[in-house]
Amino acid sequence: MAGKIFCRVRTKVGEGKMQPQYRVVAVAGADLKFSGPHFRKGELEQIAQSVGAEIVYLSQEKGEGKYKTEK
């Protein structure tokens, strides 16, 4: 069984900045430990290819607050 690496786009990266844009949220089915908090897409693809894992990019909905309450 191949593992999965779940990641999302960082929210505080400015457009055109040379900063890593992705944050790893979770890993399933693979024994991996990440040493840094943020990664570039190419780095994630190389890691996934070398361990036989699939990358799942999580979507982030705009305007949804962390503690949104329904009325």
Residue 65 in any domain: the answer is no
In 3D, which of 7, 54, 9, 5 has the Cα closest to residue 27?
Answer: 5
Residue 70 in any domain: the answer is no
Mean pLDDT of 26-55: 91
Residue 71 in any domain: the answer is no
Mean pLDDT of 10-34: 81
Residue 42 in any domain: the answer is yes
Residue 62 in any domain: the answer is no
Residue 17 carries which side chain, given as an amino acid letter? K
CB atoms inside a 10 Å sphere around CB 43: 14
Domain that holds residue 49: 4-57
Residue 68 in any domain: the answer is no
Residue 21 in any domain: the answer is yes
What is the total count of domains within the chain? 1
Mean pLDDT of 50-70: 74
Residue 71 pLDDT > 50, yes or no?
A: no
In 3D, which of 25, 71, 33 has the Cα closest to residue 51?
Answer: 33
Helix (H, G, I), strand (E, B) or coil at 45: helix
Residue 39 in any domain: the answer is yes
